[in-house]
Amino acid sequence: MIIDLPSTTTSQVNRKLVELRERGGAVALGRVLTLVIVDDDGEHLEEHIDAANEASREHPCRVIVVARGSRTAAARIDGQIRIGGDAGASEVVVLRLYGPLASQGQSAVVPLLLPDAPIVTWWPSGGPKSPAEDPIGLLAQRRITDSAAERNPIRALGTRKKSYTPGDTDLAWTRLTNWRAQLVAALDLPPYEAITAATVTGEADSPSTELLAGWLAEYLKIPVKRIKTGSAQGIVSVSLERRSGTVELTRPDGKVGTLSQPGQPTRRIALHRRNTKDCLIEELRRLGPDEIYEAALHGLDKLAASAPKASKPTNGKKAKASAS
């Protein structure tokens, strides 16, 4: 069910939510958190809401979407409430702010927050330079951005590093979970030798590739070379050198990876790029600081000189956000 509330106020939206809850029997206490989506893009708003709805099936929540409209329009709030089949296991409140209200997202969100429930803020694209200092970010225990969806992903990643505050995270990091798991599992197999150097190859402006290289540099305490390529999206390969030979995990097609290492049979591994829904679900499982992500950011300073920058890909923001 979708209910439109044009030219409304947050008080009227709240009253409507209570009325719908009493009529339909929805239990607010069943919501484990409040997810605030700040979307200035608007082009992919429905995709972001769909991802939140899917995530809510594992993490029942209230989803508040702040969509900023024209700042030159008359001041008004157009509200929309979605429940039932249009909201997954959540209740979705969409607030479109116009005119002077476009910069008052925090004031619009506060009356709709669930009491005594954690707050997570997600910027699907165009996140602030310092999420923890953003007015809406100040409300949240967890702040999710996506460097891959920015106009300049590598510069955005550098900005995230400088402004990092415990509770910050990036979906460019979450897309690495399967890569990190496979590499750790490979090193648990014999021969048990120290890694002496590593090479990480990936798309020139892939923040996930940068973070993977930073993670290896920080935790293995070895020189890591970052090689840039324009022939594929996201991460292409990781090579770990040790005395008996090289451990290599490659994924040239973005779907299936191949793991080879001395003394072990070559294995093919499902290594698809993770979609936004899966990454969001994973991030909502953690409401505290992600110390490993923080360490990976510090590791960016330890990367060895990379190869010359490849030609700039022509993919749009949406394609970048799905590449890892």
- pLDDT at residue 314, rounded to an integer: 43
Alpha-carbon distance 120 to 65, whole Å?
A: 12
How deeply is 87 buried, as exposed, middle or buried, from its count of CB atoms within 10 A (0-12, 13-18, 19+)? buried
- pLDDT over 90 percentage in the chain: 74
| 62: β partners | 34, 91
Q: Each residue of 201-221: pLDDT tens digit?
A: 999 999 999 999 999 999 999
Residue 77's pLDDT is 96
Structure tokens, 236: 């292409």
Per-residue DSSP letter, 308: P
pLDDT, tens digit, 9 for 90 and up, residues 255-294: 999 999 988 899 999 999 999 999 999 999 999 999 999 9
| Residue 231 clears pLDDT 90, i.e. is over it | no
**What's the angle, vertex CA 44, arms to CA 94 and CA 285, rounded to 5?**
70
pLDDT of residue 223: 95
Return the closest-CA partner of residue 184 out of 145, 129, 230, 238.
Answer: 238
What pLDDT was estimated at residue 25? 58
| Structural tokens at position 19 | 């009325």
Instruction: For residues 34-42, give the mean pLDDT.
Output: 88
Query: 243-280 b/e with 16+ CB inside 10 Å = b?
Result: eeeebbbbbeebeebebbbeeeeeeebebebbebbbbb
Chain segment 9-36, per-residue pLDDT in tens: 999 999 999 898 887 655 444 688 999 9
Percent of the chain having pLDDT more than 70?
A: 91
CA-CA-CA-CA dihedral for 44, 158, 289, 236, to nearest 10: 70
What is the tens place of the pLDDT at every residue in 105-143? 999 999 999 989 999 999 998 899 999 999 999 999 999
The pLDDT assigned to 30 comes to 66
Residue from 293, 242, 281 nearest 264 by CA? 242
Which residues lie across from 321 on neighbouring strands?
none
Q: How confident is the model at residue 253 (pLDDT cuts 50, 70, 90)?
A: confident
pLDDT reported for residue 40: 79
Per-residue confidence (pLDDT) for residue 168, from 0 to 100:
98
Higher pLDDT, 97 or 322: 97
3-state helix, strand, coil in the chain (%, to 5): 35, 30, 35
45-48 long-range contacts (CB < 8 A, ≥24 apart) are 47/276, 48/122, 48/124, 48/276
More confident position, 72 or 85: 72
CA–CA separation, 99 and 267 (whole Å): 57
pLDDT attached to residue 86: 75
- Report pLDDT for 323: 56
Mean pLDDT over each residue of the chain, to the nearest integer: 89
Burial of 18 (0-12, 13-18, 19+ CB in 10 A): exposed
Average pLDDT over residues 155-161: 96
In sequence order, the β-bridge partners of residue 193 are none
Q: Is the pLDDT of residue 318 over 90?
A: no
Tell me what pLDDT residue 42 has: 72
pLDDT confidence band for 81 (50 / 70 / 90): very high
Q: What is the mean pLDDT of residues 178-202?
A: 93
pTM attached to this predicted model: 0.90
Whole-angstrom distance, CA of residue 66 vs CA of residue 64: 6
| Section 166-193 average pLDDT | 94
Round to whole Å and give the CA distance between 213 and 199: 8
Give me the numbers of helices (H) and strands (E) for the chain, helices first please: 10, 15
Closest by Cα among 284, 213, 256 to 62: 284
- Output the pLDDT for position 87: 75
pLDDT given for residue 258 in this prediction? 96
